[in-house]
Amino acid sequence: MRNLKLIFLPIILVISACSTTYTAETDQNDEYDFSVVKTYFVVGDDHFKNPVISDIDRNRLNQAIEEELYLNGLNGSDLDSADLLVSYFVVTKDKTKVQSSGHYPQYGYSSRYGHRYGYNYSYNHVSSKNYTEGTFVVDLIDNKTKETVWRSTLTKPIKSFDNTEQRDQAVAVLIKDMFEELPR
Q: Model confidence over 86-99: pLDDT tens digits?
A: 999 988 888 888 88
Please answer whether residues 177 and 136 qualify as being in contact, where contact means their C-beta atoms are separated by less than 8 angstroms: no
Give residue 4's pLDDT: 45
What is the average per-residue pLDDT within 11-23?
51
Q: Which residues of 144-161 are buried (b: 16+ CB within 10 A; e: fewer)?
A: eeeebbbbbebebbbbeb
CA distance 104 to 101: 10
For 13-118, where are the alpha helices, taking DSSP H only? 55-71
What is 2-95+132-178's CATH number? 3.30.160.670
Confidence at residue 8, expressed as pLDDT on a 0 to 100 scale:
41
What is the arithmetic mean of pLDDT over 134-145?
A: 95
The Cα 98–Cα 148 span in angstroms is 38
* pLDDT confidence tier of residue 112, bands split at 50, 70 and 90: low
Out of 8-12, 96-100, 161-165, pick the least confident.
8-12
Fill in the DSSP letter of residue 35.
Answer: G
Least confident segment among 15-19, 27-31, 90-94, 162-166: 15-19
CB within 8 A of 54, min separation 6: which ones?
10, 13
Task: Lowest mean pLDDT of 52-56, 67-71, 124-128, name the range.
Answer: 124-128
> What pLDDT does residue 10 have?
44
